[in-house]
Amino acid sequence: MPHLQLTLDLGARDPAPYEEALFALGAVSVTLEDAADDPVLEPAPGTTPLWPTVMLKALFDAGADPAAIGSAIERALPGLPVPCFQIVTDRAWERVWLEDFHPMRFGQRLWVCPGGQSAGAPDAVRIELDPGLAFGTGTHPTTALCLEWLDGQRLRGRAVVDYGCGSGILSIAAAKLGAARVHAVDIDPQALIATRENAVRNAVVDRLNITAEPHLEPGCADLLVANILARPLMELVPAFAAAVRPQGLLALSGLLAEQADAVTAAYRPCFDIHTIAMRDGWVLLGGRRLAG
């Protein structure tokens, strides 16, 4: 069914009163988008920051009167930017997204494939995964770097921790590559749901321990991978040092290039650590647990 779409460039204005006014005028949905390709890289815990400039889009029934809506908003919120109206057709947007999501190879063996698509090699280690709410389909450079790192490790029979598992893509990759047990941790309930669903879909759920409990048992990991952010990574040094067995391996990502030195310095007392890969301004640090 078609809808009337209103688009407003709010700039740095607070979107809350505009959302409230549009819903009061009968909008069936209101969404906020980044107006200028400004990433929100590292929000403080408990905060949900927006971008410096925001684009607002609202959908109304196709028969709504654009002039009446514009006039009503101007009366409620004087100084409104000029709205743009257009008719948009109803589409299965998750399928539209999948049209541009194709099988991708990471390293020598790993392939991430949307549902119904095959990998590009007969001996591929195939992960079936569609874009979803939780972060991590392999398209972001940090996820890609972690997948390539996992592909280069000997995982058969080993214990892996995926700290900040998101969609579960790294946990599933580790299991598919032969890990005996994967401890998948995330504090986001949506991530835990996505990880479990994706693990079931890839027939590895029996080897995953999926949990919101952040505590790690001492010596629980032969390898630990964490694709999160610089600040929590530095806070987690003691926990990761205790969890990784002597000579065990560590991979850290979610880092911008300018953050790598600080994180490296934080881990150096416990790990022989260095930058092992960079892509598009993002960094992967790799390390080996020192004895003692």
Distance CA 43, CA 22 (A): 28
Last residue of a domain, which of 35, 59, 90? Answer: 90
Last residue of a domain, which of 36, 71, 90? Answer: 90
Same domain membership, residue 249 and residue 146:
yes
Contact 184, 162 (CB under 8 A): yes
Q: Which CATH number is 190's domain given?
A: 3.40.50.150
Same domain membership, residue 201 and residue 80:
no
Instruction: State which residues form the domain around 84.
Output: 3-90
Contact 289, 244 (CB under 8 A): yes
Residue 253 lies in a domain: yes
Residue 17 lies in a domain: yes
Same domain membership, residue 143 and residue 226:
yes
Same domain membership, residue 280 and residue 147:
yes
Distance CA 80, CA 66 (A): 14
Residue 219 lies in a domain: yes
* Burial group, residue 86, by CB count within 10 angstroms (0-12, 13-18, 19+): exposed
Same domain membership, residue 249 and residue 160:
yes
Last residue of a domain, which of 90, 109, 124? Answer: 90
* Burial group, residue 122, by CB count within 10 angstroms (0-12, 13-18, 19+): exposed
Q: What is the pLDDT of residue 33?
A: 77
Taking the complete model, does pTM exceed 0.85, yes or no? no
Residue 20 lies in a domain: yes
Q: Which CATH number is 72's domain given?
A: 3.30.70.260
Same domain membership, residue 277 and residue 180:
yes
Q: What is the pLDDT of residue 42?
A: 43
Same domain membership, residue 234 and residue 165:
yes
Same domain membership, residue 242 and residue 144:
yes
CA atoms within 13 A on the CB side of 206: 2
Q: What is the pLDDT of residue 133?
A: 38
* Burial group, residue 34, by CB count within 10 angstroms (0-12, 13-18, 19+): middle
Same domain membership, residue 163 and residue 64:
no
Same domain membership, residue 151 and residue 32:
no
Same domain membership, residue 270 and residue 159:
yes
Residue 96 lies in a domain: no
Rounding to the nearest 10 degrees, give the CA dihedral for residues 211, 147, 220, 246: -160
Same domain membership, residue 139 and residue 86:
no
Residue 226 lies in a domain: yes
Q: What is the pLDDT of residue 160?
A: 98
Written as tens digits, the pLDDT of the chain (292 aa) is 688 898 988 887 888 888 888 888 889 888 887 665 544 444 444 444 456 678 888 889 888 899 888 888 888 887 777 788 988 876 554 454 455 567 888 999 999 887 777 777 778 999 988 654 334 555 688 999 999 999 999 999 999 999 999 889 999 999 999 999 999 999 888 889 889 999 999 999 999 999 999 999 999 999 999 999 899 999 999 999 999 999 999 999 999 999 999 999 999 999 999 999 999 899 999 999 998 6
How many structural domains compose the chain? Answer: 2
Residue 112 lies in a domain: no
Residue 69 lies in a domain: yes
